[in-house]
Structure 1
Amino acid sequence: MLNQHSIEEISEIYSLLDNIKEEYKNGIKPIILKNSPNLFKNPHTVPKLKKIQINRGLGLAAQNTNLLKKSIDEFEKITGQKPVITRSKKAIAGFKIRENMELGLTVTLRGEKMYAFLTKLIFFTFAQIRDFRGFSLRSFDKAGNFTFGLKEQLIFPEINYDDVDQNQGFTITLVLDNCLPKYRSTTMDRILNGLILFRFLRFPLNDSGYYDKHSSFADINRVWDRKRHLKRKRWSQE
């Protein structure tokens, strides 16, 4: 028999599945404002998802019309939106690339399609990855956006195994809308905002404990500055 905590957790998940956008507006955002009034004095500074970008690089294989059409069809099934074909901006003779040559596909999701895709990722797709242990916190960039890669398209429920001739992955970027005040506009503040939002959305991050041994963000900054200094020193000696 399920205990009370399990029932509460299941009900929260069903609430997120029903409408993750409404859950953010009526549940997540008020809780963040209530629990962290010092960090978020203005409701507009609360972190929120702005858009999701899905990219696939095909390289010279994009010149194969059948392969390109198949990739476009997979994008439409997975995202519910027709992708844009990315083209080269200039010619590179060494890589046999001509100017305006088709090289890949990209899709930008906003609004309802963005939240529907996020829900599918968190509660269905990640569960299909073998030996999945979550994503690294170091996938955040300086702007506070989170980028990760998926190795194959078969983990999406819309893709039929018999229709796949070749495994092809994606690069997915979760772009956050960070409207931070000037006194909280550092890289660590942007990453902190992303961590807070992902925590409420149950996004799987695996190495949160890596930073438990540090007493403050200033301590973490010193560690990363030391690592950057060692890298510069090694490069200068090569």
Structure 2
Amino acid sequence: MYTQTSFENTAEIYSLLENIKNEYENDIKNVLIKTSPNIYKNPHMIPKLKKIHVNRGLGLAAQNSNFLKKSIEEFTIITGQKPIITRSKKAIAGFKIRTDMELGLTVTLRGKKMYDFFTKLLFFTFAQIRDFRGLSVRSFDKAGNYTLGLKEQLIFPEIEYENIEQIQGLSINLVIGASTPKSHSNTLDRILNGMVLFKFLKFPLNDCGNYEKFSTLSEVNQLWDKKKHLRRKRWSQEETK
């Protein structure tokens, strides 16, 4: 039964869905330009959420038309957009895969649907994960984009337990865009841009705070170089054993 509190919470949720893009455009961009004028000299250099890819591999189960139809309906409910069926580019006899065989689903979200899905991740989906302690910064790739995997679809609020025939996960790739000069276009700068953006958007990076004690970018670079050296040393020791 709905109460006054539940209606207020619902109204607040819809307000969040509407305001997250406005918060970025009107507040976050201005704060970054004022606080870091040497790094972000113009609005085009400020990191932004460009698009979100949502993918699911179905494997040979995609050959079952009923299963594929059910997965497409589920993906449409979760993302708000009908997915594209991904197909194999070549045949692999060892995995019983033929050319142009249906193997998975993918969706690319932009604009309002992208922000709605991102807000749902922040305020609904992560809260449903048991013993959730945040996400690691190590999931950034060399281009500065962030990829995470979810083990089941039940953590999305639109999915009802009674309608689930099989537990399936999905992967989410958050593509971050920024027009950076060549002097600030290396891997570390791209990752730091993503960390700055996620910190303002309240994205739950659990080890992002480790770098707050460093006052300059050079100190962070020294830390990363030290970690790389230790990894190489450990690998060389393992090879000699």
Structure 2 length-normalised TM:
0.87
Partners of 2:101 and 2:239 in 1: CA distance = 37
Partners of 1:133 and 1:217 in 2: CA distance = 24
- Evaluate the alpha carbon distance shift between residue 234 and residue 164 of structure 1 in structure 2; reply closer, same or farther with a 3 A threshold: farther
- Unaligned 5+ segments in structure 2 are 1-11
* Range with bigger deviation, 128-137 or 14-23: 14-23
Match for residue 99 of structure 2?
99
Match for residue 222 of structure 1?
225
- The amino acid that maps onto 1:47 is P
- The amino acid that maps onto 1:220 is L
1:233 to 221, 232, 236: 236
Give how far 1:57 is off: 0.6
CA deviations over 1:137-195 (Å, ceiling 9, x no partner): 00000000000001110111111110001110110000001211111111111011101
- Evaluate the alpha carbon distance shift between residue 14 and residue 61 of structure 1 in structure 2; reply closer, same or farther with a 3 A threshold: closer
% of aligned pairs identical? Answer: 65
- The amino acid that maps onto 2:50 is K
3-state secondary structure, aligned to 2:154? coil
- Unaligned 5+ segments in structure 1 are 1-11
CA deviations over 1:92-131 (Å, ceiling 9, x no partner): 1111111111110000000010001011110111111111
Q: Tell me, yes or no, if the aligned pair for 1:56 and 1:169 is still in contact at 8 Å.
A: yes
3-state secondary structure, aligned to 1:192? helix
3-state secondary structure, aligned to 1:19? helix
Q: Tell me, yes or no, if the aligned pair for 2:59 and 2:103 is still in contact at 8 Å.
A: yes
**Residue 186 (structure 2) pairs with residue 186 (structure 1):** yes
Give how far 1:223 is off: 2.5
- Evaluate the alpha carbon distance shift between residue 13 and residue 164 of structure 1 in structure 2; reply closer, same or farther with a 3 A threshold: closer
